[in-house]
Amino acid sequence: MESVQAIKQRFGIIGNDAGLNRAIEKAIQVAPTDISVLVTGESGVGKESIPKIIHQLSHRKHGKYIAVNCGAIPEGTIDSELFGHEKGAFTGATQTRSGYFEVADGGTIFLDEVGELPLTTQVRLLRVLENGEFIKVGSSKVQKTNVRIVAATNVKMFEAIKKEKFREDLYYRLSTVEINIPALRERKEDIHLLFRKFASDFALKYKMPTVKLEDDAIQLLLKYRWSGNIRQLRNVAEQISVLEQNRLITAQTLRNYLPDVGNNLPAVINTSKKESDFSSEREILYKVLFDMKADLNDLKKLTMELMKNGNAQDVQKNNEGLIEKIYGSSDESQYSNSAEELEVLSIPQQSNSVEPEIISSQNVEDKYHFAEEVEEEETLSLHDKELELIKKSLERHNGKRKLAAAELGISERTLYRKIKQFDL
């Protein structure tokens, strides 16, 4: 059995991290068997190396090795790609085609991003794992295959199972042995080593001197999160090798190539205060509108009382609190005026459900005549009522906006805006 170090050299694996070494050891141990293996880890950690190790150290090393990216094949064609199809099975199937499981018979299939497989394909794959049988698309003939399956995924499988996006029975068939590749940020002692290897490779490729990092740049390299893992590190090393004239790289230079680090990123602006202010203004506006609606309902109530009773004095006496709320004064003369105004308002607004009492008194007829004359002048619009309420409140408090705003139930700022709006 080959050593871990020999395997690293053979397959070009860089690093001395304990987690990485443990993953390679498990691959070496499981290779001689035919059990299924699931390789897990974040995108870009190098999961594709493990299936190659397993295949080359197995008795299938002289058979075919096929790597399939399940996430890159459209859902409508993946069954055909994996299991093949018969001629005429679907539109465009002009001839019979062999799938990967038929072609790789006696070898190894690496199913990368297996978590992206459609549920219907997962059922077919489960059958292959259980008894080595599959059926081509458009066929009824059962075929046999002797294939070793190694799968890989960056999906959190238990979450996918919980969301019913992946079959639990298939997961346990695939993960007879599970090998996890640690993320690059968990292999801090390997980060600079990998960067030096990439920098050396790109120097040979582009025929230029190798870039080197100063101490502060090395510290930045180690502290960075590397969400893209080894793939991202390789990309950064290539960019720096090609673009930088100075081959000694400082932390300031390196910072320009790392997302979320440096001064070249747009500033994050906290908009919570503005949103809060907008929400507050909206709430105040709603309150003003609701208050005006309530006042209108009160006016309608008084109007109905006048229409039913026809006696302004009785209505005034029974609704003193309501009149004071609307007209904002306890002065008796104002009560009287208010009652008369309300009585005038009540006559044109006859309800369909209440028949007005016919009164033959000459005085009442005169009042009715007066009501007809002022009908066009009186209004119950929200705009006019709001203006009237603000005017009365300001007059009662001798123009003191703070007191008037408190009485109206709005902010002083809103009241000031209303004063400007209505040109009071």
**Whether residues 8 and 49 fall in one domain:** yes
Cα distance between residue 38 and residue 59, in whole Å:
19
**Whether residues 41 and 131 fall in one domain:** yes
Q: Is residue 272 part of a domain?
A: no
Beta bridge partners of 109: 66, 149
Helix/strand/coil (H, E, C) string of the chain? CCCHHHHHHHHCCCCCCHHHHHHHHHHHHHCCCCCCEEEECCCCCCCCHHHHHHHHCCCCCCCCEEEEEHHHCCCCCHHHHHHCECCCCCCCCCCCECCHHHHCCCCEEEEECHHHCCHHHHHHHHHHHHHCEEECECCCCEEECCCEEEEEECCCHHHHHHCCCCCHHHHHHHCCEEEECCCHHHCHHHHHHHHHHHHHHHHHHHCCCCCEECHHHHHHHHHCCCCCHHHHHHHHHHHHHHHCCCCEECHHHHHCCCCCCCCCCCCCCCCHHHHHHHHHHHHHHHHHHHHHHHHHHHHHHHHHHHHHHCCHHHHHHHCHHHHHHHHCCCCHHHHHHHHHHHHHHHCCCCCCCCCCCCCCCHHHHHHHHHHHHCCCCCCCCHHHHHHHHHHHHHHHCCCCHHHHHHHHCCCHHHHHHHHHHHCC
**Whether residues 196 and 301 fall in one domain:** no
Give the total residue count for the chain: 424
354: which residues sit within 8 A by CB, 6+ positions away? 304, 307, 308
**Whether residues 292 and 363 fall in one domain:** yes
CATH number of the structural domain spanning residue 95: 3.40.50.300
Q: Is residue 178 part of a domain?
A: yes
Cβ atoms 288, 386 nearer than 8 A: yes
Q: Is residue 264 part of a domain?
A: no
CATH number of the structural domain spanning residue 232: 1.10.8.60
Q: Is residue 274 part of a domain?
A: no
Q: Is residue 10 part of a domain?
A: yes
Domain count, the chain: 4
Q: What is the pLDDT, as a whole number, of residue 364? A: 42
228: which residues sit within 8 A by CB, 6+ positions away? 43, 44, 235
Tens digits of residue pLDDT in 382-416: 677 777 888 888 888 888 888 888 888 888 878 87
Q: What is the pLDDT, as a whole number, of residue 350? A: 45
Q: Is residue 266 part of a domain?
A: no
Beta bridge partners of 152: 39
Q: What is the pLDDT, as a whole number, of residue 320? A: 66
Cα distance between residue 134 and residue 102, in whole Å:
9
Q: What is the pLDDT, as a whole number, of residue 360? A: 43
Q: What is the dihedral of CA 65, 69, 74, 76, to 10 degrees?
A: 40
Q: What is the pLDDT, as a whole number, of residue 294? A: 78
Query: For each of the chain's 424 residues, which pLDDT tens digit applies?
Result: 689 999 999 999 999 999 999 999 999 999 999 999 999 999 999 999 999 999 999 999 999 999 999 999 998 899 999 999 999 888 888 899 999 999 999 999 999 999 999 999 999 999 999 999 999 999 999 999 999 999 999 999 999 999 999 999 999 999 999 999 999 999 999 999 999 999 999 999 999 999 999 999 999 999 999 999 999 999 999 999 999 999 999 999 999 999 876 443 444 445 444 444 555 666 777 777 877 877 787 777 777 776 666 666 666 666 666 666 655 544 444 444 444 444 444 444 444 444 444 444 444 444 444 444 444 444 556 677 777 888 888 888 888 888 888 888 888 878 878 787 777 7
**Whether residues 363 and 418 fall in one domain:** no
Q: What is the pLDDT, as a whole number, of residue 310? A: 61
What is the extent of the structural domain holding 137?
Answer: 4-182
Q: How crowded is residue 101: how many other Cβ atoms within 10 Å of its Cβ?
A: 27
What are the two backbone dihedrals, phi and then psi, of residue 153, each rounded to the nearest 5 degrees?
Answer: -155, 150
Cα distance between residue 171 and residue 176, in whole Å:
9
What are the two backbone dihedrals, phi and then psi, of residue 100, each rounded to the nearest 5 degrees?
Answer: -60, -35
Cβ atoms 222, 193 nearer than 8 A: no
| Beta pairing class for 142-144 and 133-135 | antiparallel
**Whether residues 62 and 156 fall in one domain:** yes
Give CA separation, 22 vs 67, 156, 269, 299, in Å.
23, 21, 45, 83
**Whether residues 420 and 353 fall in one domain:** no
**Whether residues 347 and 392 fall in one domain:** no
Q: Report the Cα–Cα distance between both ends of the chain, in Å, rounded.
A: 95
**Whether residues 361 and 395 fall in one domain:** no
Q: Tell me the two tokens of residue 278.
A: 């907008």
Q: What is the pLDDT, as a whole number, of residue 155? A: 93
